[in-house]
Amino acid sequence: MILHDLSPPAQQPSEREAELEAEIGRLRRSLDEAVRRTTVDVPAASAGYEHEVADLRSALALKQARSAELQQANAKLTANCATLAASEARYRLAVESASDYAIFTTDLTGRITGWNSGAQNLMGWSEEEAVGAPANLIFTPEDDRTAIAETEMRLAVTEGRGEDDRWHLKKDGSRFWANGLMMPLRDDEGGLVGFLKILRDRTEAKQAAERQVLLVHELNHRVKNTLATVQAFTSQSLRTAGSLAEAREAITARLIALAQAHDVLTAEDWQGADLAQIVADALRLHGGDGERCRWQGNAIRVSSRIALALAMVLHELATNAIKYGALSNATGTVSVTWKITEQGDRSVETRLRLALRWEERGGPPVTPPTRRGFGTRMIERGLASELQGEVRMSYEPAGVVCLLDIPLEMG
């Protein structure tokens, strides 16, 4: 009733039912369409999601493979770095242990980039002082003016190494003779990145070689002088001797005196001799002892040239003393004294001279000779020509006095 009361009066129940049935039909069709669309779209969407997931999984697999490759590369790089570090440590140890060698590196401009302890020991500059400095600081001014450092670098590049022997400078300005080797430094691709320089001090070897050359020249000169001396006193002995026996005796005595002086100088490597030893040996050779023969003077060493000349002079004086002078009897004495004197004053160069005095006492009365024998001539002329010295022979009644004054050459 109520429904009939609420419905519009003109609308019948059959019409209302038809409308409701139509509405229900539309709703059913809409629901069916919605169900149909859902059934079709969900599988399509699901398929799209599956493709995306597959792509993501493929990308993840690639990333995982790449990560594995990077891990392997990193492990290899770490191993190479460890090997390189060990190699560098061994290299540094080897370089630092080579204290007898100066080893340093430079860049392409010639500036020092590395400096080992051997370089510091040899040349004086510390690593802090040397690194960054130009390598030509070790070259002499004359070599620096001719660009020797640049020449060595060019030679190292073109020939693979540059080697030479030359003088180099130390920090204190002194020089040393070194054998040097320069080599190029290259990277893994073969590119030039710098130079390696190795030096070894050969100063002693250089000086030894120079001494050897000097000794050969000295030996040649010495042999010629010795032969000339032997020839002179042999000729004079034969000319002035009364018999061959006397000549043989004189020649033998002079040869012994000369040989004795040679022995003294040979023991000193011909670098000179002690004057007292030369005097003592000359007197002992003729039987002089501490009571009859005395000698005293400055403790000095004389050159080999002076030592030989004095040995022969003393031999002639002692021979004459035995024949005619203080040593010809049992009571005479011989005194040999010497001192160093100076020649010149403040206005000129002062030169040292050796003043030696031979004095005989207690022998037979002295009579000046009527002629000069070979011994006297050798003393007077020999010293004058050989040593540019002066000789004064004085035949005093109490005994012969001989004064020698010669330029001093220290040995």
Assess whether 120 and 243 both reside in one domain: no
What is the pLDDT at residue 174? 95
What is the pLDDT at residue 257? 74
Q: H or E segment at 127?
A: helix 127-130
Classify residue 301: in a domain, yes or no: yes
Question: What is the DSSP secondary structure assignment for residue 177, as one 8-state letter?
Answer: E
Pick the range with the lowest mean pLDDT from 1-10, 61-70, 335-344, 374-383: 1-10
Question: Would the pLDDT of 297 be above 90?
Answer: yes
Classify residue 5: in a domain, yes or no: no
CB 391 within 8 A of CB 404: yes
* Mean pLDDT calculated for residue range 35-53: 61
CB 400 within 8 A of CB 406: no
CA atoms within 13 A on the CB side of 304: 19
Q: Which of 27-41, 300-314, 365-379 has the highest mean pLDDT?
A: 300-314
* CATH number of the structural domain spanning residue 277: 3.30.565.10
What is the pLDDT at residue 176? 96
What is the pLDDT at residue 289? 64
Write down which residue in 34, 60, 87 finishes a domain: 87
Rounded to the nearest 10 degrees, how much is the dihedral formed by the CA atoms of 142, 144, 148, 154?
-160
What confidence category does residue 1 fall into, taking pLDDT thresholds of 50, 70 and 90? very low
Write down which residue in 67, 87, 107 finishes a domain: 87
What is the pLDDT at residue 108? 95
Assess whether 275 and 300 both reside in one domain: yes
Q: Residue 396 is encoded by which pair of tokens?
A: 């005093």
Assess whether 289 and 369 both reside in one domain: yes
Pick the range with the lowest mean pLDDT from 38-42, 64-68, 306-310: 38-42
What is the pLDDT at residue 403? 92
CB 401 within 8 A of CB 263: no
Distance between first and last Cα of the chain: 163
* Mean pLDDT calculated for residue range 353-369: 90
DSSP string across 188-215: TT--EEEEEEEEEE-HHHHHHHHHHHHH
Average pLDDT, the chain: 80
Classify residue 93: in a domain, yes or no: no
**pLDDT by residue (tens digit) across 248-290?**
877 787 787 777 777 777 776 767 888 998 888 888 876 666 6
CA distance 181 to 162: 6
What is the pLDDT at residue 202? 94
CA distance 392 to 403: 5
Write down which residue in 170, 201, 232 finishes a domain: 201
Assess whether 370 and 317 both reside in one domain: yes
Q: Which of 60-69, 238-247, 274-283 has the highest mean pLDDT?
A: 274-283
Classify residue 138: in a domain, yes or no: yes
Give the CA radius of gyration of the chain. Answer: 56
CB 264 within 8 A of CB 273: yes
Pick the range with the lowest mean pLDDT from 39-43, 74-78, 321-325, 396-400: 39-43
* Mean pLDDT calculated for residue range 383-403: 85
CA distance 137 to 170: 9
Assess whether 277 and 359 both reside in one domain: yes
* Mean pLDDT calculated for residue range 391-409: 89
Could you tell me which of 214, 249, 225 has the C-alpha nearest to residue 385? 225
Pairing mode of beta strands 293-297, 333-343: parallel
Question: Would the pLDDT of 134 be above 70?
Answer: yes
What confidence category does residue 348 fall into, taking pLDDT thresholds of 50, 70 and 90? very low
Question: Would the pLDDT of 333 be above 70?
Answer: yes
* CATH number of the structural domain spanning residue 115: 3.30.450.20
CB 118 within 8 A of CB 207: no
**CB atoms near residue 235 (< 10 Å):** 12
Assess whether 347 and 375 both reside in one domain: yes
What is the pLDDT at residue 155? 92
What is the pLDDT at residue 125? 96
Please state the domain count of the chain.
Answer: 3
Assess whether 397 and 257 both reside in one domain: yes
- The one-letter amino acid code at 101 reads Y
Classify residue 273: in a domain, yes or no: yes
Assess whether 249 and 298 both reside in one domain: yes
Q: Residue 329 is encoded by which pair of tokens?
A: 């009897």
The residue written with tokens 């020249």 in the block is 217
What is the pLDDT at residue 266? 72
Assess whether 273 and 248 both reside in one domain: yes
Tell whether pTM > 0.75: no
Classify residue 4: in a domain, yes or no: no
* Mean pLDDT calculated for residue range 81-95: 56
What is the pLDDT at residue 226? 66
What SS3 state is found at 256? helix
What is the pLDDT at residue 4? 39
What is the pLDDT at residue 116? 95
The range of the structural domain enclosing residue 107 comes to: 98-201
Q: H or E segment at 301?
A: strand 301-302
CA distance 103 to 196: 7
Classify residue 92: in a domain, yes or no: no
CA distance 113 to 104: 7
Could you tell me which of 364, 362, 365 has the C-alpha nearest to residue 291? 362
Q: Residue 167 is encoded by which pair of tokens?
A: 């003088």
Classify residue 318: in a domain, yes or no: yes
Assess whether 285 and 139 both reside in one domain: no
Assess whether 230 and 379 both reside in one domain: yes
Assess whether 271 and 398 both reside in one domain: yes
* Mean pLDDT calculated for residue range 170-187: 95
